[in-house]
C-alpha cells in the first residue's frame, strides 16, 4: 500500500496548494498497529500525514454531510457508491466534491488479526506480496490478506470507483467467480426456528452503542427511530426484543441504499456481523427489482418507488 500512500499525499498536497479544495478527507496512521482513523487535512503539513493501508475500513462518505464548502475525498468503490446515493438523496452536491477514486484491494479489520494472533501485537507490516506480517510478544505470524480480509470485501464486485474526478491508482481486476450471496444462501437454507436462533445469537452481544448506525453513511436521519421519544417506538434497555427491533428496523431502513461497505461491522466493538441482515436485503433488491445501490443518482432506490409491474411475491 506504500505506492498508494505516496500518490495520495501527492494528490492531496496539489489540491490544497492550488486551492481546488479547502479540506481533504482521508486516513492517517493511528496510535495502534492496524488503526487508520479518518483525518481531515487542511494544510500541506496535514496532507503529509495522509496514508492508505489495508485498514481503511471506515466509509468516508459518512463525513461529507456535516461539511460545508469544497472538499476532496479519497473513496473506495463502496464509498463512491455511498457518495452517489448522497447526491441522489440531496445530502451533498456533486459540484462541492472532488472525488479521488481509490481502486480497492480489500480491507482487513484490526479485530480479525487481533483474534487470530491472540497476543499483544507490536507491529503489523503489509508486504507487497499480499501478506500481512504480524509481530508481538516475541513471535511472528504471516497472514494471506485474501484470507483475512473483510467478508464484504471478499464478495465485492464494485471494487473500482464508479464516480471520480481522478484516480489514485490503476483500476483493479475483479475476479469473475465471486459468489456474492453464499453467506445469505446459507442462512436462507435454515429452517424458520434455526434462522431465528441464528439472528438471536448474532446480536446477543450487542451493547446498543449504535456504532453500526453512526458509522453508516446511509443512517443519517436527524433523529433515529430508536431515539424518538414521542412516540417511543422501542425500549432503550438491553433486552433482546428491543435489540432485535433496532437491528431489523435499521436494516430495513437501509434496504436498497446499503452499499455493503462494511463500516457497521468494522466499527462494532462486539464484533457483530450485522451485514447478515443488510446483505439479505441487498440480494432481495437485486433478485426482485434488479436493483443495485449506488450505481446511479438519477433513479430512486428500489424501496422508495412503486411500479405497476413490480413483483409482489415479497408481500406476505
> Per CB under 8 A, does 241 bind another protein?
no
Minimum separation from the CB atom of position 109 to another protein (A): 10
> Per CB under 8 A, does 269 bind another protein?
yes
E strand map for the chain: 23-28, 38-41, 50-51, 71-75, 97-101, 123-126, 131-136, 139-144, 166-167
Helix (H, G, I), strand (E, B) or coil at 17: helix
Nearer to another protein among residue 46 and residue 163 (C-beta):
46
Nearer to another protein among residue 38 and residue 130 (C-beta):
38
> Per CB under 8 A, does 270 bind another protein?
yes
Nearer to another protein among residue 119 and residue 292 (C-beta):
119
Minimum separation from the CB atom of position 68 to another protein (A): 13
CA 254 from centre of chain: 13
Nearer to another protein among residue 265 and residue 302 (C-beta):
265
> Per CB under 8 A, does 130 bind another protein?
no
In terms of phi and psi (left: phi > 0; alpha: psi -120 to 50; beta: otherwise), the region of 191 is beta
Question: Taking the CB of residue 301, how many other CB atoms lie within 10 A of it?
Answer: 21
Orientation angle between helical segments 275-289 and 240-253, nearest 10 degrees: 40
Relative to beta strand 123-126, strand 131-136 is: antiparallel
> Per CB under 8 A, does 211 bind another protein?
yes
Nearer to another protein among residue 92 and residue 121 (C-beta):
121
Minimum separation from the CB atom of position 108 to another protein (A): 15
> Per CB under 8 A, does 99 bind another protein?
no
Stretch that binds another protein, among 79-87, 245-253, 269-277, 280-288 (CB under 8 A): 269-277
Q: For residues 85 and 291, give the distance between their C-alpha atoms in angstroms, rounded to a whole number.
A: 13
The residue whose grid cell reads 490544497 is 16
- What residues from 29 to 88 belong to the interface with another protein (CB under 8 A)? 30-32, 35-40, 58, 62-63, 66
Listed residue (181, 153, 156, 154) closest to 284, CA to CA: 181
Nearer to another protein among residue 238 and residue 304 (C-beta):
238
Q: For residues 55 and 110, give the distance between their C-alpha atoms in angstroms, rounded to a whole number.
A: 7
Query: Is residue 154 within 8 Å of 106, Cβ to Cβ?
Result: yes
Helix (H, G, I), strand (E, B) or coil at 156: coil
Residue 101 DSSP code: E
> Per CB under 8 A, does 120 bind another protein?
yes
**The three grid cell numbers given for residue 16, joined into one nine-digit string:** 490544497
Q: For residues 163 and 294, give the distance between their C-alpha atoms in angstroms, rounded to a whole number.
A: 10
> Per CB under 8 A, does 122 bind another protein?
yes
- What residues from 179 to 208 belong to the interface with another protein (CB under 8 A)? 201, 204-205, 207-208
> Per CB under 8 A, does 141 bind another protein?
no
Residues that bind another protein (CB under 8 A): 30-32, 35-40, 58, 62-63, 66, 111, 114-115, 120-122, 201, 204-205, 207-211, 213-215, 227, 235-239, 266-272
Amino acid at each position: 500500500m506504500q505506492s498508494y500512500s505516496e500518490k495520495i499525499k501527492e494528490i492531496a498536497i496539489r489540491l490544497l496548494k492550488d486551492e481546488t479544495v479547502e479540506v481533504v478527507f482521508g486516513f492517517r496512521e493511528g496510535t495502534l498497529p492496524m488503526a487508520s482513523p479518518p483525518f481531515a487535512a487542511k494544510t500541506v503539513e496535514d496532507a503529509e500525514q495522509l496514508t492508505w493501508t489495508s485498514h481503511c475500513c471506515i466509509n468516508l462518505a459518512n463525513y461529507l454531510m456535516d461539511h460545508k464548502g469544497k472538499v476532496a475525498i479519497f473513496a473506495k468503490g463502496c464509498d463512491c457508491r455511498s457518495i452517489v446515493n448522497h447526491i441522489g438523496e440531496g445530502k451533498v452536491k456533486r459540484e462541492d466534491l472532488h472525488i479521488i477514486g481509490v481502486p480497492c484491494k480489500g480491507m482487513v479489520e484490526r479485530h480479525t488479526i487481533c483474534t487470530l494472533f491472540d497476543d499483544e501485537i507490536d507491529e503489523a507490516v503489509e508486504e507487497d506480496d499480499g501478506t500481512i506480517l504480524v509481530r508481538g510478544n516475541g513471535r511472528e505470524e504471516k497472514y494471506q490478506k485474501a484470507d483475512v480480509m473483510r467478508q464484504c470485501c471478499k464478495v465485492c464486485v464494485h471494487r473500482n470507483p464508479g464516480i471520480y474526478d481522478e484516480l489514485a491508482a490503476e483500476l483493479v481486476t475483479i475476479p469473475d467467480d465471486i459468489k456474492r450471496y453464499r453467506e445469505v444462501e446459507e442462512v436462507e437454507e435454515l429452517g424458520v426456528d434455526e434462522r431465528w436462533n441464528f439472528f438471536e445469537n448474532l446480536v446477543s452481544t450487542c451493547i446498543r452503542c449504535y456504532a453500526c448506525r453512526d458509522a453508516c453513511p446511509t443512517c443519517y436521519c436527524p433523529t433515529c427511530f430508536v431515539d424518538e421519544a414521542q412516540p417511543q417506538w422501542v425500549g432503550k434497555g438491553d433486552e433482546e426484543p428491543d435489540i432485535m427491533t433496532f437491528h431489523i428496523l435499521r436494516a430495513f431502513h437501509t434496504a436498497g441504499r446499503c452499499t455493503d461497505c462494511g463500516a457497521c461491522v468494522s466499527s462494532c466493538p462486539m464484533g457483530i456481523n450485522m451485514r447478515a441482515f443488510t446483505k439479505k436485503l441487498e440480494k432481495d433488491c437485486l433478485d426482485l427489482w434488479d436493483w443495485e445501490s449506488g450505481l446511479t443518482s438519477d433513479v430512486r432506490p428500489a424501496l422508495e418507488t412503486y411500479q405497476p409491474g413490480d413483483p409482489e411475491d415479497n408481500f406476505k
